[in-house]
Structure 1
Amino acid sequence: MKGMFYKKFIVIVTVLTLFCSIIVTSGRATAETVPVLDVEAGSAILVEANSGKILYQKNADESLAIASMTKMMSEYLVHEAVDKGKLKWDQKVKISEYAHKISQDRSLSNVPLENGGSYTVKELYEAMAIYSANGATIALVEEIAGKEADFVKMMNDKSKEFGMKNYKFVNSTGLTNYDLKGYHPEGTTPDEKNKMSARDCAILAQRLIQDFPKMLDTAKIPKKTFQKGGKYPIDMVNFNMMLKGLIKQYEGVDGLKTGTTPEAGDCFTGTVERNGMRLISVVIKANSHTARFDETKKLYDYGFANFEVKNIYGKDSVVKGHETLRVANAKDKDVVVQTKQAVSLPIPKSNKDVYKKEFKVSNKEQEAPIKKGVTISKMIILPKDNTDPGFLSGKSLQIDLVTKSDVEQANWFTRFMRQIGSFFSSIWDSAVDIVKS
């Protein structure tokens, strides 16, 4: 009898052990839905470009020297000047002594420019974007701002506007100031250099691509001749070796900017698009010229293997459960709201349920009449996992919910009757509270 009891006991313990093992294994599989990645660099980040969702980060907020990745901001301000009509692509730019002297330094990235010579904005921009030409960059900067010091102020102001936190621009090229041959901008010292965090580099790259998508048409050019047929033609090979046809080519890569100085090490901000998902990567202080591309490949392989972009809401979509919002003095009390923009997010392939939604009514009380398309509340999307790095903009992504149509004001009689009803309702509620007490 005792032997039978002992056998049953052993069976029960074995079953329970197996059951617990299954539960623990299942829990581990859920927690480890995305494999661990280690990037060999001082700092790195991988971001889904549309939403700004961070897929990987390492020391992403540490401010480090960035070398010629600086030129992403110079490129942005050139595009902005063209967009505002302050600059034209076929406009001729006269070369100053400063731009000329820098352009003659063969130890730096350059195309030689004649002192007092003229080149089009497009020629100089291509030299900057493809070949990281420092003299060409300075020529563009002086054309836009008059002097580099004023352009540097524009760079820092734009960084603040973008919500960047860990940055400092002291020149337009990314060179250390002592390489500028005594021409370093007023208010800076010879030993200063530009610094940014990987997160801020990603923010800048995201804005550059989103605001001026055609910039990628130049960024993806692997080879081009500067001043072909001119006095000093230069064959330019893009320093982004991940472009099609170059030695580290990676399918879908079409930008963005490398950087190398003794202080910054080897850096690269890249972007790639496959199957409707665009990624932005930043690698700062890699171990070598080629290592920055190897580590970037590691990031891209990780991103495409483990994530896919899903459309959550289309533009002008009504969110189920939050279709309407009450607006004071509106003809129809409950006003229909819809998304201002489409919402798509990267989802881990192994775990689809990673986001949650919250809703926030505008701090200012909305009162009719209101025009169509006015934001009156926000949908806040945030990761369920508190340890998730979130988005470039912060822990959450905020989506504007706007009025679907014009909100008419109720007539005076309706508003009066509602006030009467509200008055008696408050009296009734007070009476009920007194009785309960």
Structure 2
Amino acid sequence: MNKIRKYKKITSISILILLVFVLSSVSFSEELFKLEAKSAILIDASTGEILYEKNIHDKLPPASITKIMVLLIGMEDLSSGKIKLDDKVQVSANSARMGGSQVYLEEGEIQVVDDLFKAICLRSANDAAVALAEHISGSIDVFVQRMNEKAKQLGMLNTNFKNATGLPDEEHFTTAYDVSLMSKELMRYPKIQEWLTIYMTDIKVGKNKDVTQTLVNTNKLIRQYQGANGIKTGLTNEAGHCLAASAKRGNLSLISVVLGGPTSNSRFQESKQLLDFGFANYDSVPICKKNELIKTIKVSKGKEDQVNVVAGEDYSLLIKKGTSKEIEKEIIMPEVLKAPCEKGQKVGEIILKNNGTEVGRVNLIIEDTINKASIIDMFKKITTLFLGDNN
């Protein structure tokens, strides 16, 4: 009986020690930095892996961080061809009377989409954001609905947009985690990085284009931090000082978000602190590029006899510095495919291992559609096979 009690006592002590270790580990993670911001996150921009977090699911007002979603929808439509950079946009009374940060657009003046993007990226102009939103969707209400639909699509479960500017509204909120999701998606577009890294430029405004607005980037990190390439500042009395920042060094791209900072300087310093931590402790190993040829395989009963299999996405592997970079790649796919085959159809995977442990997977897809061969196609193939090609 005494032995059983002794065993129970030892077990209890062991469990207690384990709990203390786990709790101290969590505490260390949370106290890794002494940040003044209410909420903060650091992620790998390629994988989305979280490297640091503080209150990342707390719902907070985002101020002009909101415009990241405006830019994202704008880039989607620009890439699809729905809008063009030289599109002429007539400024409405609604957009012209926006308060806060603005470039003082006049009702009835004509602006081009390119300058509206610049005004949003550099000055965080509310009037330009609304003008672009109205150009894309026809009305601000329809555009805001699309913003919320896109948020759900990205998995931004604790976000609700009520406007395209970030001006205060009790029902307008997001989280640091959700901001990181839309930031990661936005930074996939090379063109947006061109605008976000401009320090200073001019645009002409007014019906007669007789007023020059000099735009200076509100994101000081663009000039102050090595590799900085975005993204967006935000400030209202309700939201405090906010910043979604991004930077790239070598193969590693990072995104940090701080919400509810007490001062303008604190948001920049704390963003630097987060990014410095990431670059000091992590590396990114590139595995493949989207549409990179992996293998050409045979097709049975198809109009063509073979098809290219390509990587379905850009993929890099995040590793801690000092650990092995020897990544094993195991390609799993069939030797032969049976027609018909659809473009983009998944046909296999690359399984990635580090020291024998699986660390990631990449989907392999078909590059082109291969239709099933008709009787005539089959006859031509047989004829060619037996008679040879006379050419």
Q: Normalization by structure 2: what TM-score? A: 0.72
Q: Structure 1 residues 351, 160: CA separation in 2 closer, same or farther (over 3 Å shift)? A: same
Q: Which segment is superposed worse, 144-153 or 308-317? A: 308-317
Decide which of 368, 375, 397 is 2:346's aligned counterpart: 375
Q: Which runs of 5+ in 2 are unaligned?
A: 1-24, 302-307, 373-391
CA shift in 2, pair 1:144/1:373, >3 Å: closer
Q: Does 1:169 align with 2:147?
A: no
2:212 aligns with one of 233, 251, 256: 233
Larger mean Cα displacement after TM superposition, 213-222 or 34-43: 34-43
Q: Match for residue 17 of structure 2?
A: none
Q: 1:155 deviation in Å?
A: 0.5
Does residue 75 (structure 1) correspond to residue 71 (structure 2)? The answer is yes
* 2:33 is aligned with 1:38: yes
> 3-state SS of the aligned residue for 2:222?
coil
* Aligned mates of 1:170, 1:145 — CA distance in 2: 15
Kindly provide the amino acid, as one letter, of the partner of residue 301 in structure 1: D
Q: Secondary structure of 2:97's match? A: helix
Letter in 1 for 2:247: V
Q: Give, in angstroms, the shift of residue 126 of structure 1.
A: 1.1
Instruction: Report 1:192-271 matches (<5 A).
Output: 192-193=171-172, 195-210=173-188, 212-227=189-204, 230-244=209-223, 249-271=224-246
Instruction: State the partner residue of 1:119.
Output: 111
- Report the 3-state secondary structure (helix = DSSP H, G, I; strand = E; otherwise coil) of the residue aligned with 2:71: helix
| Superposed displacement of residue 300, structure 1 | 1.1
Aligned runs of 1:20-419 on 2, under 5 Å? Answer: 37-40=32-35, 41-102=37-98, 105=99, 108-177=100-169, 191-193=170-172, 195-210=173-188, 212-227=189-204, 230-244=209-223, 249-312=224-287, 315-317=292-294, 340-341=312-313, 343-352=315-324, 368-369=338-339, 371=341, 374-378=345-349, 398-402=361-365
- Aligned-residue RMSD, C-alpha: 4.0
Paired with 1:342 and 1:114, the residues of 2 have a C-alpha distance of 43
Q: Is the 8 A contact 1:369 1:406 kept in 2?
A: no
CA contact (8 A) 2:61 2:239 kept: yes
Taking the aligned partners of 1:280 and 1:350, their CA distance within structure 2 comes to 22
Contact persistence 1:347–1:354 (CA under 8 A): no
Once residues 262 and 295 of structure 1 are traced to their aligned partners in structure 2, the CA distance between those partners, rounded to angstroms, is 19
Contact 2:230–2:246, Cα closer than 8 Å, also in 1: yes
SS at match of 2:257: strand
**Contact 2:89–2:135, Cα closer than 8 Å, also in 1:** yes
Q: Residues 266, 383 of structure 1: CA spacing in aligned structure 2 closer, same or farther, 3 A cutoff?
A: farther
Question: 2: CA distance between counterparts of 1:383 and 1:44?
Answer: 30
Q: Distance in 2 between matches of 1:380 and 1:58?
A: 32
1:115, CA displacement in angstroms? 1.9
**Matched positions, count:** 332
Counterpart-to-counterpart distance in 1, 2:133 and 2:344 = 39
Greater strand content: 2
Q: For 1:35-71, what per-residue CA distance to the aligned partner results, in whole angstroms no more than 9, with x for missing partners?
A: 9721512111111212222222222222221110110
Task: Mark the CA change 1:342 to 1:123 in structure 2 (over 3 Å): closer, same or farther.
Answer: closer
Q: Helix, strand or coil for the counterpart of 2:81?
A: coil
Deviation at residue 112 of structure 1 after TM alignment: 0.9
Q: Which residue of 2 aligns with 1:424?
A: none
Please say if residues 61 and 199 of structure 1, whose CA atoms lie closer than 8 Å, have aligned partners that are also in contact. yes
Return the offset for 1:359.
Answer: 11
Shift of 1:289: 0.8
State the one-letter code of the partner of 1:86: K
Contact 2:46–2:315 (CA under 8 A) maintained in structure 1: no
Do the aligned partners of 1:359 and 1:380 also contact (CA within 8 Å) in 2? Answer: yes
Flag the 1:235–1:374 CA change in 2: closer, same or farther, 3 A.
closer
- CA drift of 1:268 comes to 0.5
What is the Cα deviation at residue 403 of structure 1? 7.0
- Kept after mapping to 2: 8 A contact 1:47/1:56: yes
Query: In the alignment, what sits opposite 1:389?
Result: none
Partner AA of 1:38 in structure 2? F
> Rg larger in 1 or in 2?
1
After TM superposition, the structure 1 stretch with the greater mean CA deviation from structure 2, 255-264 or 345-354, is: 345-354
Q: Secondary structure at the match of 2:101?
A: coil
Q: Which amino acid aligns with 1:202?
A: S
Structure 1 stretches of at least 4 aligned residues deviating more than 6 Å after TM superposition: 353-361, 380-384, 403-409
Letter in 2 for 1:351: T
Deviations 1:368-387 (A, max 9, x none): 44638632455677999xxx
Letter in 2 for 1:90: D
Q: Distance in 1 between matches of 2:162 and 2:371?
A: 53
What displacement does 1:353 show? 8.3
- On the 8 A contact 1:43/1:285 being kept in 2, the answer is yes
Q: Which deviates the most, 36-45 or 288-297? A: 36-45
Give, in whole Å, the separation in 2 of the partners of 1:87 and 1:259: 26
- State the Cα distance separating 1:99 from its structure 2 match: 1.3
Cα 1:378/1:95, change in 2 over 3 Å: same
Query: Does the CA contact (< 8 Å) of 2:251 and 2:286 recur in 1?
Result: no
Residue by residue over 1:156-196, the C-alpha shift from the partner in whole angstroms, topping out at 9 and shown as x without a partner, is: 1111222222211111111114xxxxxxxxxxxxx432x22
Identity of aligned residues (%): 33
1:282 counterpart letter in structure 2: V
Counterpart for residue 383 of structure 2: none
Q: Which runs of 5+ in 1 are unaligned?
A: 1-30, 178-190, 319-323, 330-335, 385-395, 410-437
For 1:398 and 1:382, locate their aligned partners in 2 and report how far apart those are by CA, in whole Å: 9
